[in-house]
Amino acid sequence: MCFVAVLIIYFAWRCNPLVEKPHLTDFNQMFACAEISKTIFSHAIILQPMEEDILIQISNKIKERRREKNITVHDLAIKANVSKGLISQIENSRTIPSLIVLIDIIRSLDIDLNVFFKDIHSKSSSTPIIVRRKEQYEHFEKEDAHGFYYQRIFTQHIKHSTVDFVLLELNVDASRPFVETQAFEFKYFLSGEIAYHFNDKTITFSAGDSMLFDGRIPHTPKNIGTEKAMMLVIYFFEENKV
C-alpha cells in the first residue's frame, strides 16, 4: 500500500463518518510497506489544516515544478482530470485545494510526494504578536497580469480559515483578465484612483475607501488615475471539507 493510499484512507475516515474507521494494525502494515512511518504525520499536518503560509508554499511549488517540466496549465489540467481554471486558481493562491485534488496534481507532475513536501514546513509561531518589517515583504506574481506589483506581508491560519495579507500596486497601464478567488476579499485603497470591474457593474474608489466582496464573483481592477495606485488586500480563505 503506497503513501497516497494511506492518506486517502485516513482522510476519508476523518471527513466521512460513514467510512469505517481503519484499524491501527492496518495503518502499521501500510506504513511499514511504504517505508514512510517517519513522515506520514508531518505530511498530514501540512495538508490539514493549511496552516499559515503552507498554502502559498504549495501553490508556488506546483507552479515552479510545472514550468521546470515545460508543462502547460492546459496539459496539467488534463493529466490531473481537473479544469484549467482550477489549476490557475491553485497556482495563484486563489483557492485551497482538497487533499485528493492536490495528490492528483502532484502525481500528474511525476513528482514523489515525499520529495514534493520535503522543503515545505510550517512557520507557525507561538507568540501572540507577529511583526513583519517592510524589507521582509515578499514580491510575487499572479496570472498574466501586466503592471500589477504584489507584495505579501504575511499569511496566517486563524481557526478554520487562512488569511492572506497583500499589498497591491497598480501602474497606470496595468491590465489583467477577470479572475475569481475562492475567498472573501477586503480592499483598503491607500492611494490613487481605481475602478473595480465586476460582471455587471463598475465601482470607483479613491484613497481611504474600502470594499468587501465575495471573490467568486469575476472581478478585475483598473488604475484610472495619472499615478500609481496602491491598496491593501486581505483574502479570507475557508478550508475545504473534502
> For residue range 96-151, what is the model confidence (pLDDT) as tens digits?
788 889 999 999 999 988 888 887 766 555 567 888 899 999 888 887 789 999 99
pLDDT of residue 179 exceeding 80: yes
What is the per-residue DSSP string for 127-196?
A: -S-----GGG-EEE--TT-EEEEEEEEEEEEETTEEEEEEEEEEEEEEE---B--SSEEEEEEEESEEEE
Domains and CATH numbers, the chain: 3-116 (1.10.260.40), 134-238 (2.60.120.10)
Residue 208: partners with Cβ closer than 8 Å, 6 or more residues away: 189
Indicate the pLDDT class of residue 228, thresholds 50, 70 and 90: very high
In the beta sheet, which residues pair with residue 211? Answer: 187
pLDDT in the model for residue 96: 79
Contact 165, 155 (CB under 8 A): yes
pLDDT of residue 119: 78
- Say if CB 204 and CB 212 are below 8 A apart: no
Give, as one character, the DSSP assignment of residue 21. P
- Tell which phi-psi region holds residue 110, choosing left (phi > 0), alpha (psi between -120 and 50) or beta: left
* pLDDT(53) > 60: yes
| pLDDT for residue 19 | 41
Owner of C-alpha cell 497598480: 170
Percent of the residues in the chain that have a pLDDT greater than 70, as a whole number: 74
What is the spatial distance between Cα 91 and Cα 95, in angstroms, rounded to a whole number? 9
- pLDDT band at 160, cuts 50/70/90? confident
